[in-house]
Amino acid sequence: MDKRELLSKAVKLADTIMRENQPVICEKWQYDRGVCLMGMAAVYEKTGDKKYFDYIKKSMDYFINNDGSINKYDPSLYNLDHINNGKNCLWLYHKTGEQKYLKAAERLIDQLNNQPRTKSGTYWHKLIYPDQVWLDGVYMAEPFSAQYAMECGHPERFDDVVTQFVNAERLTYEPRCGLNAHACDESKSVFWADKNTGRSLNVWGRAMAWFTMAIVDALDFIPPLHSGRKTLVKMLDKIMSNVVLYQDESGRWYQVLDNRRSGNYPESTCTCMFAYTLAKALRLGYLDEKKFRPHLESALGGILGSFIREDGPSLYITDCCAVSGLGPEGNLRRDGTLDYYFSEPIVENDCKAVGPFLKLICELI
């Protein structure tokens, strides 16, 4: 498929999302909608079509007031998911020069400055998840923190950004398969955690994919001479070298990466995320071309051949895991077992697939 055809798929998907989510993408301050909007931003950059910019701005202006306060955002929850939309704030600030977007981003930085931490110095994922480090949360917080550090003159943040990556990778590393578990409870006390390691029981595809996207996006902002830059590039190579071992013959990855038990299934959000990571990392020279290019091409073929459904003017990404989590204590169903991961709803056009797919296509064209 040539570049024009690829771009037409991205445009059709972005138009579907806008048509089906009006007047704004969401009326909740949701991290996944922010991921989708950043995918639309990539489409805007490629096409120059102002309708995408207007939709992004309208969707963010629903929340952001002139003084930079954010409607429907509660910093006292210390929820790392709520940080992700800061990327949209900084994008709009650079596009418009409007101070309200910078002020909103600074409010999110204030949350990070006060975020509770584990004994190792790693952010709690949320206040309701004490001592827990989730791979998802690294994506929500660290690329934004690194961007703010570079663009707003706070280089003192870079050391901590790298520390968050290093700690999360170490705490969740699963030696049995060379991959990383969804999360780790440093206190080793929560019901889903292994009592010896604190790790959750399985390798959820999207959690690992959030982590790989976090690395490749944060590297946009880590200075060339900062020692942590080499650390993150090396980490990315190690992780992706293991991730590609679990890619199936059609180029897809599974809901639980290292398992083929009945009930597991090829899952589109993690496949789109890993493909985006590969595309960007290859473009920027972080990964070896000869080793990884075939895996990117296979992933793209798997996405286009298995996960795309077109219906007239609309395009849908199928086989999206709607959600997966761990706990909290009052939700024993979310225990990190295979049965749990295979039980969550499977939907279409989840923003966690749409955003990475749009960014993937824009990397390729």
DSSP string across 321-353: E-------TT-TT----HHHHTTS-EESS-HHH
pLDDT computed for residue 62 by the predictor:
98
Alpha-carbon span 328 to 229, nearest angstrom: 34
- Note whether 315 and 14 are within 8 A (CB): no
Residues of the chain with pLDDT under 70: none
pLDDT computed for residue 1 by the predictor:
81
Alpha-carbon span 57 to 69, nearest angstrom: 16
Q: Which of 95, 130, 123, 97 is nearest to 108 (CA)?
A: 123
CA 51 remoteness from chain centre: 25
Alpha-carbon span 182 to 204, nearest angstrom: 6
- State the CB neighbour count (10 A cutoff) for residue 24: 17
Return the bridge partners of 184, or none: 133, 199
Alpha-carbon span 40 to 50, nearest angstrom: 11
Question: Is residue 50 within a helix (H) or strand (E), and if so which, with residue range?
Answer: helix 50-61
Helix, strand and coil in the chain, % to nearest 5: 55, 10, 35
pLDDT in tens, 261-307: 999 999 999 999 999 999 999 999 999 999 999 999 999 999 999 99
For residue 279, CA distances in Å to 10, 69, 246, 262, 273 come to 15, 36, 18, 31, 10
User: At 131, which amino acid appears?
Assistant: D
For residue 129, CA distances in Å to 84, 137, 217, 316, 322 come to 18, 12, 25, 34, 21
**Domain boundaries defined on the chain:** 3-20+115-364
**Hunting for tokens 């509660």 — which residue is that?**
74
Which of 1.50.10.10, 1.10.3810.10, 1.10.10.10, 3.40.800.10 would CATH assign to domain 3-20+115-364? 1.50.10.10
Alpha-carbon span 143 to 148, nearest angstrom: 9
Q: Which string of DSSP letters, residue by residue, matches 87-102?
A: HHHHHHHHHH--HHHH
For residue 352, CA distances in Å to 23, 94, 172, 346, 348 come to 20, 24, 22, 12, 10
Alpha-carbon span 206 to 257, nearest angstrom: 9
Return the bridge partners of 173, or none: 180
Alpha-carbon span 177 to 199, nearest angstrom: 14
pLDDT computed for residue 219 by the predictor:
98
Query: Dihedral sign, CA of 111, 42, 269, 25?
Result: positive
pTM strictly above 0.95:
yes
* Dihedral in degrees, nearest 10, Cα atoms 58, 33, 214, 182: 160
pLDDT in tens, 80-127: 999 999 999 999 999 999 999 999 999 999 999 999 999 999 999 999
Mean pLDDT estimate for the chain: 98
